[in-house]
Structure 1
Amino acid sequence: MTTATALTGVIPPVCTPLTPDFEVDTASLVRLVDHLMAGGVDGLFVLGSTSEAAFLPDGHRRVVLDTVVGHVAGQVPVLAGAIDMTTLRVLDHALAAVVAGVDGLVATAPFYARTHPAEIDLHFRTIAARTGVPLYAYDLPVSVHSKLPADLLLDLAADGVLAGLKDSSGDDAGLRNVLLGRRDRTGLDGFAVLTGSELTVDSALWMGADGVVPGLGNVDPHGYARLYRAARDGDWAAARTEQERLVRLFELIVVGRSRMGHGSSALGAFKAALYLRGVIAHPTTAVPQIPLDESEIAAVGKYLAAADLL
């Protein structure tokens, strides 16, 4: 089970359903939360990359926070991304999330300006000191152009600054170094290490990771819950079989790749899948992302059918 300071299991980054005029579709958001909870997830992460946080104005972010925290009502922990370019801007988001009642915060390294590790260290220490809730580092070098070094993360954990890590770096060796460092140091048992990769969850759990934050978990939370529980129980053959099924399902992210960016295609496919499954009312993505067309949405449906999700 999951607590705010020792996070384990499946914690999907919750998509943000939008209306055709780009407002937050709160009714669809509530249905999505219910869909995820019924799928057996152990927590929820709002306002991350899969939530389109980078595309949402502050008012939209507050609507998401209030809707999800109010609806979940403490059944599972809710983490909120406080993601922005610099520390003072992050603090605005973080303090709003704390007021909304979240159980933890997730922040990347600063970005836009080039950042030294000493500045990243100060960034996380400042957020933790000003907010007073568990803080999770989000390692996302593809977007913020800084890789979080293992020693920096472990030092911050040892000092009580960080409660955990969401590793979306794609660097399996780096993830393993964090896990080894956690094992070798005393007092870091409560530092949660979560993989952000949908495709290598079984291997990350085998290395010692505590859980997964899968964007595809919006579409198939039951599958990731089965995968995690099989690994937890030591049934690695079942975990591998479930992982391989999810790898094939994940191919739906390429349906629009020939005419749009990776993000538009992937987030559009997740939302199209939720739309086809009857969870959200519209597959709208925030501008300037390019929406999937009817043929691309139909192609997503074929992946769902192949995975027995339609």
Structure 2
Amino acid sequence: MTSTLTGVIPPVCTPMTPGGEVDAASLVRLVDHLLGGGVDALFVLGSSSEVAYLTDARRRTVLDTVAGHVAGQVPVLAGVIDMTTPRVLEHARAAAAAGASALVATAPFYARTHPAEIRTHFRTIAAEGGLPVYAYDLPVSVHTKLEADLLLELAGEGTLAGVKDSSGDDGGLRRVLMGRTTTGGATSFSVLTGSEVTVDSALWMGADGVVPGLGNVDPHGYVRLYRAAARGDWEAARAEQERLVRLFEMVRVGGSRMGAGSSGLGAFKAALHLRGVIDCPVTAVPQVPLDAEEAGRVGKLLAAAGLL
């Protein structure tokens, strides 16, 4: 990880057995599906990986399976998401031992934190984790927004190698991109959007890449989108983005009878199951599973997108 990270970096889903164990064989097929789609890196143990539901042993299974199978073909970013710095450092040591290329961490959560404590958190991970650190801006889950000034300060001093912006704050994203051009030490700082549906506009603003959960289902589509933007073909990028927006409707099939996470992750896994990539579409307890009718609606969206 000696250069700015760019391109399509899917947050890899974690296939599970009906009993809730990691399905390593399906995980390997999923990795091959993503690599076959032309992705530039992989992000394991993020939100789309159901990291919050995985025991430490299951996290290690995911790390060992993916890093071992990839064997250096592309960088593997490992989520080390936990409530406080000491717990994050334990995950960082496991990620380094498994052969991860970089770490991805949120701000601390559960305990209320101050920006000074967030700075200490990231500086400690960078100093002791042994790998480049990417910030994960995820206020919906950790209840703290990583502001542009803080990110640019940590980037400028070399603490952070990049950010995955899943804040939904396009103005904040733009402030980071604008600030990066005027902060000498932050010029190699990777800015990655976590939005599935505004990738073309983020790339037009100057983002370096995308970390799309829907990229598990259709990596080829996001690679086409990114490559169209890279060559300046914004009409092609827009057309591909709009196709993916229609496909992304799958995350709503669960409606109001389940949480958004259950509906979205259940839809991604149902789609991967229907495409023959994973054996079982189960999500971790206590998430509500999709029923047959909802899975059928996922299948119709896949067919409309040319994926079945």
- TM-score bucket (shorter structure): over 0.9
In 2, Cα distance between equivalents of 1:288 and 1:5: 40
State which of 274, 279, 282 in structure 1 corresponds to 2:277.
279
Whether the 8 Å contact between 1:4 and 1:104 is mirrored in structure 2 is: no
231-240 vs 253-262, greater mean Cα deviation = 253-262
In 1, Cα distance between equivalents of 2:175 and 2:193: 13
Q: Unmatched 5+ residue regions in structure 2?
A: none
In 1, Cα distance between equivalents of 2:95 and 2:23: 19
Residue equivalent to 1:15: 13
Paired residue secondary structure (1:258): helix
State which of 195, 200, 203 in structure 2 corresponds to 1:202.
200
- Identity among equivalent positions (%) equals 75
Q: Unmatched 5+ residue regions in structure 1?
A: none
In 1, Cα distance between equivalents of 2:289 and 2:147: 36
Paired residue secondary structure (1:106): strand
Whether the 8 Å contact between 1:5 and 1:134 is mirrored in structure 2 is: no
Residue equivalent to 1:163: 161
Shift of 1:189: 2.0
State which of 147, 167, 177 in structure 1 corresponds to 2:175.
177
TM-score when normalising by structure 2: 0.99
Residue equivalent to 1:256: 254
In 2, Cα distance between equivalents of 1:168 and 1:309: 26
Whether the 8 Å contact between 1:5 and 1:163 is mirrored in structure 2 is: no
Residue equivalent to 1:236: 234
State which of 210, 214, 217 in structure 2 corresponds to 1:216.
214
Cα shift readout 1:148-199 (whole Å, capped 9, x = no counterpart): 0111111111111000000000000000000000011113221000000000
Which amino acid in the other structure matches residue 81 of structure 1? G
Residue equivalent to 2:95: 97
Residue equivalent to 1:306: 304
Residue equivalent to 1:81: 79
In structure 2, the CA distance between the partners of 1:62 and 1:4, relative to structure 1 (3 Å rule), is: farther
Whether the 8 Å contact between 2:158 and 2:185 is mirrored in structure 1 is: no
In 1, Cα distance between equivalents of 2:18 and 2:296: 19
Cα shift readout 1:109-160 (whole Å, capped 9, x = no counterpart): 0000111000000000000100121100000000000000111111111111
Whether the 8 Å contact between 2:157 and 2:185 is mirrored in structure 1 is: no
Which amino acid in the other structure matches residue 257 of structure 1? G
Paired residue secondary structure (2:43): strand
TM-score when normalising by structure 1: 0.98
Which amino acid in the other structure matches residue 261 of structure 2? G
Matched, 1:106 2:104: yes
Paired residue secondary structure (1:289): coil
In 1, Cα distance between equivalents of 2:270 and 2:281: 5
Q: Where does 1:50-69 land on structure 2 (aligned, <5 Å)? A: 50-69=48-67
Whether the 8 Å contact between 2:190 and 2:208 is mirrored in structure 1 is: yes
Shift of 1:295: 1.1
Whether the 8 Å contact between 1:110 and 1:120 is mirrored in structure 2 is: yes
Cα shift readout 1:220-268 (whole Å, capped 9, x = no counterpart): 0000000000000000000000000000000011111231000000000
Cα shift readout 1:21-42 (whole Å, capped 9, x = no counterpart): 0000000000000000000100
Paired residue secondary structure (1:282): coil
Whether the 8 Å contact between 1:12 and 1:217 is mirrored in structure 2 is: yes
Instruction: Give runs of ≥4 in structure 1 deviating > 3 Å.
Output: none
Aligned length: 308
Which amino acid in the other structure matches residue 209 of structure 1? A
In 2, Cα distance between equivalents of 1:165 and 1:277: 31
RMSD value, Cα: 0.7
Residue equivalent to 2:4: 6
Which amino acid in the other structure matches residue 58 of structure 1? D
Paired residue secondary structure (2:134): strand
In 2, Cα distance between equivalents of 1:78 and 1:30: 14
In 2, Cα distance between equivalents of 1:298 and 1:170: 29
State which of 36, 41, 50 in structure 2 corresponds to 1:43.
41
In 2, Cα distance between equivalents of 1:187 and 1:262: 38
27-36 vs 5-14, greater mean Cα deviation = 5-14
